[in-house]
Amino acid sequence: MFWRKLSPGGGVILSYVAAITLGTIILSFAFVSTGERLSLVDALFTSTSAFCVTGLTVVDTGKDLTSVGQVLLLLMIQLGGLGFMTFSVFLFITLGTGLGSRERYLMQETFANAPIGDIYTLLKSIFLFTFLIEAAGALVLFIHWMHEFPAGRALYLALFHSISAFCNAGFSPFSDSLMSYQGDVVVNLTFMLLIISGGLGFFVLYEVSLLRSLKLKRRQFSLHTRMVIYSTAILILFGVVCFYLLESRNNLHGFSVTQGILASFFQSVTARTAGFNTVDFSTLSTATLFIFLFLMFIGASPGSCGGGVKTTSLAVLVALMYNRMKGCGVVNLFHRTVPGEVVTRAAAIVLLAILSISFFAALLMISQPKATTEHFLQYLFEAFSAFGTVGLSMGATANLNALGKLILVILMLLGRVGLLTVAYAIVGREGRVTIQYNEENVMIG
C-alpha cells in the first residue's frame, strides 16, 4: 500500500536509495576488501557510483576490492545500468502480477516516445539488446586479451569491461583505466562501440534493429531517433576536432596522425557518458577541460544507461533558437513540429541542471578547507562529472573529505534519476492549468 501511494517519481528515487543503502552495507563487509574494510562513507560513495553508473572512485577497484567484491560491484553496475524499474516490471510480468499505472507510466517515460502497446515485447527487446551487445563486446575483448592474460583472467576482464562500457559506468580493474591501451585499435574501437550503443537509448536500438530486418526504412525513423543519431554524431565529431586541435602540442605531442585521431575519438566518446580514459586528464589544457565540461553536461540520450541533460534536450533548444531567429513561432525539426510541452521541459531540465551543478559545486569548494584557486577547476570538473554520471576525474575524488564525497553522492543520484523526477516527487505534478491571465510585456536580453 505504501508503494502504491507513492508518486512515480517517488518510487524511482526510493528504489535507488534502497539499492544504494543495501550496496553500502554489502561493501562495508570485510570480505569485500583486500585490506582494511571500507569506511561507511567510501562504501556509500562506491555503491552510489556503481548503481548510478558513474565511475568516480575513491578506491582502486582492481587492488582494493577482492574478486567477490568486484563481482558484486559488477552486478550493481548491471542493475543500475538497466534501471530497477526494468527488473521490477520484468519480475511482475514473470510472476503473472498485473502492472499498475505507475509501472506503465515509468516504462513509457523511460524507454519510449510513444504509448507502449506491449510492455513484455519492449522488456524482451531491452534484455536481448543488452545481452547480445555485452556478449559481442566481451567476445572480442576475450579473443584479443587471450594473448596477454591467462584464459580465465582474460574472460573475466572481458566480461567486466564489456558490461561496464555498455552501461557507461567507467569502472575498470586496471588502475590506470585504459591508458595502457592508448594505441590499441581493437580495444579502443570495441570500447567506443559499446559506449555509444549504451548511450543511444534502447528505443533507438530497437528502431535500428527494425531497419536491419527490413521492417523499417531510414526515412521512417521517428523524430526522436533522428534527433539522437544526428546530435550524437555531431557531438562526437565536435569533441574529436576540439581535442585534436587543443591537445596537438600537449598530450598528443609525438603522436602520429592516426594515433592522435584514435585518442581524440576515444576521449570524445567517453567524455559524455562513460568515464574510461586513455590519457591523463589532470594534464589536459584548460581549454580542453572547458570543452569537456560542456560534453559531460550534455551526456547521453534518453532511455539509455548514461546521464546528463541528454542530447535531445540540446537538439530541442538549438532548434528553438534557429526557429525563433527565422521568426517561426513553433519548433520545427526534420519536417516535424516539437510539442510546446517538450520544449518547456527541455528548457526546464537545462536550467535546473545549471542551477544544481552551480549550487553543489559551490558547496563542494566550501566543504574543502584547504581548497585554493588552483583547485577551482578540479572541483568544478568533479561536480560536472558526478551530475553527468560520467566518472572522469582530474584526480581530486580520492582526496575529498567525507562531506565532499557526500556532496558528490547527491549529485550522482540527481544526475541518474533526473532533476524533473526529483522535482515532481517533491512538489507533485499538477494537471494541465487552463487559467490564462492578461499578458504584460517585459524587457529581456
Residue 85, amino acid: M
Asked if residue 152 has pLDDT above 60, the reply is yes
Cell numbers linked to 122 = 519492449
What is the per-residue pLDDT for 321? 93
Decide if pLDDT at 101 tops 60: no
Residue 439 belongs to some domain of the structure: no
CB-CB neighbours of 40 under 10 Å: 13
Q: What is the pTM of this model?
A: 0.90
436 domain residue, yes or no: no
pLDDT digits (tens, 9 = 90+) for 40-74: 999 999 999 999 999 899 999 999 999 999 999 99
Does residue 174 have a pLDDT over 90?
A: yes
- Could you tell me where the beta strands, DSSP code E, fall in 256-330? none
3-state DSSP percent of the chain in helix, strand and coil, to 5? 65, 0, 30
- Please give the single-letter amino acid code of residue 15: S
- What one-character DSSP code corresponds to residue 147? T
Whether 59 is in a domain gets the answer yes
Mean pLDDT of the chain: 86
Q: Distance between CA atoms of 275 and 72, rounded to whole angstroms? A: 20
Range 393-418 average pLDDT: 91
| CB neighbourhood size of 433 (10 A) | 6
Question: Grid coordinates 528502431 are at which residue?
Answer: 207
Paired residues of 406 in beta bridges: none
Q: What is the DSSP string of 229-261?
A: HHHHHHHHHHHHHHHHHHHTTTTTTT--HHHHH
d(CA 151, CA 143): 9
Of 12-26, 240-254, 321-335, 422-436, which gets the smallest average pLDDT? Answer: 422-436
265 pLDDT higher than 90: yes
Helix (H, G, I), strand (E, B) or coil at 181: helix
Burial of residue 439 (number of CB atoms within 10 Å: 0-12, 13-18, 19+): exposed
* pLDDT category of residue 102 using cuts at 50, 70 and 90: low
Confidence of residue 84 (pLDDT cuts 50, 70, 90): low
- Answer for the pair 277, 257: CB distance below 8 angstroms, yes or no: no
Helix (H, G, I), strand (E, B) or coil at 332: strand
- The predicted pLDDT at position 23 comes to 94
User: Residue 434: inside a domain, yes or no?
Assistant: no
pLDDT of residue 35: 87
14 exposure class (CB count in 10 Å sphere: 0-12, 13-18, 19+): middle
Tell me the sheet residues that pair with 118: none
Structural domain count of the chain: 1
Of 71-80, 125-134, 420-429, the least confident: 420-429
In this structure, is residue 345 part of a structural domain? yes
445: exposed, middle or buried (Cβ count in 10 Å: 0-12, 13-18, 19+) = exposed
pLDDT on residue 206? 81
Q: How confident is the model at residue 208 (pLDDT cuts 50, 70, 90)?
A: confident
Q: What are phi and psi of 336, to 5 degrees?
A: -135, 150
Banded pLDDT at 240 (limits 50, 70, 90): very high
Q: Which of 163, 199, 391, 208 is nearest to 296 (CA)?
A: 391
Q: Cα–Cα distance between 135 and 271 in angstroms, integer?
A: 24
Q: Is 337 helix (H, G, I), strand (E, B) or coil?
A: strand
Best CA proximity match to 50, nearest among 305, 224, 342: 305
Host domain of residue 381: 2-426
- Helices in 146-182 by DSSP H: which ranges? 151-166
d(CA 224, CA 323): 18
d(CA 226, CA 312) in angstroms, rounded, equals 10
- What is d(CA 337, CA 420) in angstroms, rounded to the nearest whole number? 23
**DSSP designation for 179:** G
Domain for residue 435, yes or no?
no
Q: How confident is the model at residue 369 (pLDDT cuts 50, 70, 90)?
A: confident
Is residue 379 within 8 A of residue 371, CB to CB? The reply is yes
Nearest CA to 185 out of 259, 294, 81, 133 is that of: 259
At residue 138, the pLDDT reads: 96
Asked if residues 299 and 226 have their Cβ atoms less than 8 Å apart, the reply is no
Evaluate whether residue 32 is within a structural domain.
yes
State the Rg of the chain over Cα. 22
Collect all residues with Cβ–Cβ distance below 8 Å to 434 and sequence separation of at least 6: none
Q: What percent of the chain has pLDDT over 90?
A: 55
With cell 568516480, the residue in question is: 56
More confident residue, 14 or 66: 66
Q: Does 272 reside within a domain?
A: yes
Q: What is the C-alpha to C-alpha distance for residues 46 and 23, in angstroms, rounded to an integer? A: 9
- What is the pLDDT, as a whole number, of residue 93? 57
> Alpha-carbon distance 380 to 439, whole Å?
40
Is 182 strand, coil or helix? coil
Give the total residue count for the chain.
Answer: 445
Q: What pLDDT, on the 0 to 100 scale, is given for residue 95?
A: 52
